[in-house]
Chains A and B, each alone.
Chain A
Amino acid sequence: MSTNREINRREFIVTTAAVGGGLALGLTFPMSSAGLALDAAKISARPWESLAGKGDIEVDPWVVIAPDDTVTLRIGQSEMGQGVITSCAKMLAEELECDWSKVRAEYVSVNRHFRENKVYKRLLTTSSSSVRLGRPYLQQAGASARERLMAAAAQTWGVPRSELTVKDSVITHKPTGRTLRYGQVAQNAAAIKLSAEPNIKTPDQFTLMKKPTKLLDAPLKVDGSAVYGIDVRLPGMLYAAAKASPVFLGKVKKYSADAVKSRPGVHAVVEFSGPQIEAGVAVVADTYWRAKTALDLLPIEWDEGSHGSDNSEGFFKMSRAVLEEPGAKVVTQLGEPEAVLKSSSQIVEAIYEVPYLDHTVMEPFNCTAQVTPDRVEIWVGSQDPEVATMDASKITGVPVEHIYLHNCFLGGGFGRRGNQDDVRQAVSIAKQLDGRPVKVIWSREETMRHGYYRPMRVSRFRAALGPDGKPLAWTTRVIGIDEDYPGDEQTIRGLHQLPYQVPNQLFDYHLRKTHVPTGPWTSVGRSQNEFFLETFVDELAHAAGKDPFQYRRTLLEGNPDLRFSKAWVQVLSAVTAKTDWGRQLPAGTGMGIAIGDSRRLSRKEYTICAAVATVSVSKKGEVRVERFDVAMDTGPFLVNPLAAERQVEMQVTMGLAATLRQEITIEKGRVVQSNFDDYPLLRATEIPEIGVHWVRATDDPIAGIGEEVVGWVAPAVCNAIFAATGKRIRSLPLKNHDLSWT
């Protein structure tokens, strides 16, 4: 059952939007924040370092309580700007009933996780999973600690647990008014075994969650003290600059170490290669600059292998040819789509193409490692410290129990920092340095030219429209390229079930390989597929002579197989209401719409999200996104609405940069782009006014918020460009299109 209550946008976002629109001052800040006036950080600048002191008591592996009631909560997920330290702490503290102002956080010990049979469940941070998968066990850990603290107090007083209440770390014996603080009972609580685990709260019982909370780590990022992987400094540490084969899968043929060995500070020149390591050479020196300048002068000859003449145009040609090949894998078949298409008089057909994309993390790739025969230490910002540890073990032969990975702050992740290529390379280099620690830093150029790219993709859509303009048949064929992760599913996501009413359907796909490494990129599959699908349905609406909002609405309402179709319509209607959809706009300005639900084959949860872009295009063809409005289902709660708003803003920024002008192209087997000049980020002057509209449309917890918006940016913007200019965009980025009009 869904309710029709829309959560009010709070003043803060209204203010943000106003400032974004050019109205200055009169600013207000969210005074209701649970972390009000958070001047001091609540986590160490070196987040892997434990804050817990000697007298502190571990009540359970996640909860440590000090005699003065300070609560230290352990965080298993990696902070890369999404606010996960704060969100995980809130999920624990919601149950713990502790004083939030006395909460601080620290990362879990990755080493302990291995030594104690994966005690922290999961250390991966991807796919909006930290809340979706973490909440049940984090709430349970918080509740369990609370009950043991309560049981210890009951024991102390010799009273039944049922006579006790707790609030803000103070336990009260109601009949007598006596109180005990958490810090006073923690010692005894640690020894208590509960006969049964307590129930955890349901969303309607949440008090701390749902409130906007400032991030516990933000103050460290305002005074320069937060330690990212690239900032690690160790006694006796060396620095390395690394260069991997410019052509992927190439090899080092020869290099002349003698040419640089006598340069100041140079310590060694070493090669690296191995399974899942792009072969290359590193110069090791006493400073990074000396290492880098020596590497630039080092003559290296490469064996380019068999891919030295591959290029993007060839990959696209191949993909277009594969569109015609038989034997595609069928995912969905409903009715007789081909027969209906053959007999139809109104056919709409389109081929869509999108390029490889880079993650462009602001912090260039780096990893610090120290390898001795019986112990390995690693400092890195990683989305997957567990697999990184296992990879280091494979390379060194040192068992995982003797590997110490210290997770640092991540200067952006977006899926890139979960591939461990940084760790494998650094460990391979450190292995050759007789136990000395080494910090390996990639240049921006190396970082951009050795990514795990968002896969390029080509698709063809065909539909037959009936007399009423509704699609009678719809076929989709996708050519997935090099979908190393997570295989076929990335190609399929979002297309495997159409949300729209279509009686005859076929969806099939081919997979092909190139030598270009690919990986998860925020939204994993959806940034390509939603552009295809939501552009095509827009093309159908126009072919049918219908309003794109009403057309979608009719097809959503008419689809009997769509779970929560009312919620879809509710979210879609919210974003059109907020943007006054259908109003008269000046010439050259248009609005475009897109909707989707982030479903995946592998999970039952999803997040319904709809977007409207308001875009103006100058006669010369310059695109300006004026506004971008997002309506999103919150389900019954958001753990931290403040962080959630920022996640939406991040994804709009990310999606817009990709839509406007980002592409990774391959020439001579290697990446052409190298830095922010030829692969530009969105600039401050280009950010639109962003409206975030929370809608409670379903009663189930949503899939998450970390990547459920980015897929709808390109289709909303491109549909708006069509509305503004009549030019239909079927390939990205926009910089490759002439959008001028008269």
Chain B
Amino acid sequence: MLSLKVNRKTYSVDVEPETPLLWVIRDSIGLTGTKFSCGKALCGACTVHVNGKPVRSCVVPASQVVGQEITTIEGLSPNAQHPAQIAWREADVPECGYCQSGQIMAAAALLANKPNPTDADIEREITNLCRCGTYLRIRQAIHRAAQIAARA
């Protein structure tokens, strides 16, 4: 049994210590907003925050994050009102939407670290893949989120 703190709640989970955090979040805890896509940290669809930093949960053993603050898309904000989520809706970013939880979590971590990121910051920090090619709208939404956060 491992004890994990996800979205400010503590869960005891019956998993092998090396089980990737992604599958603990999805199968044991039942939060399915965090997505499986590559399993090798190549695409970022599984991005969550550990102590506020973005990590690709498909390659993080659950035992490594015991006692740490894990945040998933479901816990990013009450009522999906994080500036990135507001901006994502305004810009109508998602197409198939499968990668967007990971994109938003990566963007939220960037914005927390750099409240007013440049295009170069975004290119460097947001390396998540999107098969539908929403990249231009994601960039636009991140700039918009920075404005929303500054106003708040």
Contacts and interface: CB of A to CB of B under 8 A. Distances in A.
Interface of A: 15-16, 19-20, 22, 24-25, 27, 29, 33, 37-39, 80-83, 214-215, 217-228, 230-231, 233, 239, 264, 287-290, 293, 360-364, 409-413, 441, 443-444, 642, 646, 649-650, 652-654, 675-677, 681-685, 687, 690
A690 B97 contact: no
A214 B94 CA distance: 10
B74 A224 contact: yes
Nearest to A20: B136
Contacts of A653: 130-133, 135
User: What 7 pairs between A and B have smallest CB-CB spacing?
Assistant: A224-B33, A653-B133, A221-B97, A81-B95, A411-B98, A81-B96, A224-B73
Interface string B22-65: 01001110111111111110110100000000000000000000
Interface string B90-111: 1111111111110010000000
B118 interface: yes
Contacts of A220: 97
Contact of B127 (A22, A444, A684): A684
A224 B72 contact: yes
A293, A411, A443, A684: residue with the most chain B Cβ atoms closer than 10 Å: A684
A681 B90 contact: no
A82 B36 CA distance: 21
B57 to A, nearest CB: 12
A80 B140 CA distance: 22
Given A19-B139, A219-B80, A233-B30, A675 B97 contact: no
B94 A81 contact: yes
A373 B15 CA distance: 34
B140 A16 contact: yes
Interface of B: 15-16, 19-20, 23, 26-28, 30-40, 42-43, 45, 72-74, 80, 85, 88-101, 104, 118-119, 122-123, 126-140, 143-144, 147
Contact of B15 (A230, A287, A441): A287
Given A81-B96, A412-B132, A38 B32 contact: no
Would you call the interface of chain B mostly helix, strand, loop, or mixed? loop
Nearest to A35: B92
Given A363-B35, A444-B40, A15 B98 contact: no
B104 to A, nearest CB: 7
A413 B97 CA distance: 12
A150 to B, nearest CB: 34
Given A239-B27, A412-B132, A684-B139, A222 B88 contact: yes
Contacts of B128: 684
A676 B39 CA distance: 10
A681 B129 contact: yes
Contacts of B118: 24
Nearest to A293: B16
Contacts of B33: 223-225
Given A222-B88, A228-B35, A412-B132, 16 more contacts: A22-B119, A24-B143, A25-B147, A214-B92, A222-B80, A222-B89, A222-B104, A223-B33, A223-B74, A223-B85, A287-B27, A411-B97, A649-B133, A681-B130, A684-B126, A687-B135
A683 B96 contact: no
B136 A29 contact: no
Given A239-B27, A289-B19, A649-B134, A411 B35 contact: yes
A646 B101 CA distance: 19
Given A224-B33, A224-B73, A676 B132 contact: no
Contacts of B136: 16, 19-20, 649, 687, 690
A24 B37 contact: no
A272 B130 CA distance: 33
Nearest to B30: A233
Nearest to A647: B95
B100 A222 contact: yes
B28 A287 contact: yes
6 contacts: A16-B136, A214-B89, A217-B97, A230-B36, A411-B96, A646-B134
A649 B15 CA distance: 42
B39 A362 contact: no
Given A233-B32, A364-B36, A684-B135, A222 B96 contact: no
A675 B32 contact: no
A264 B13 CA distance: 14
B143 to A, nearest CB: 6
Nearest to A444: B38
A289 B15 CA distance: 9
A16 B130 CA distance: 17
Given A27-B144, A81-B95, A288 B42 contact: no
Contacts of A231: 26, 32
B98 A412 contact: yes
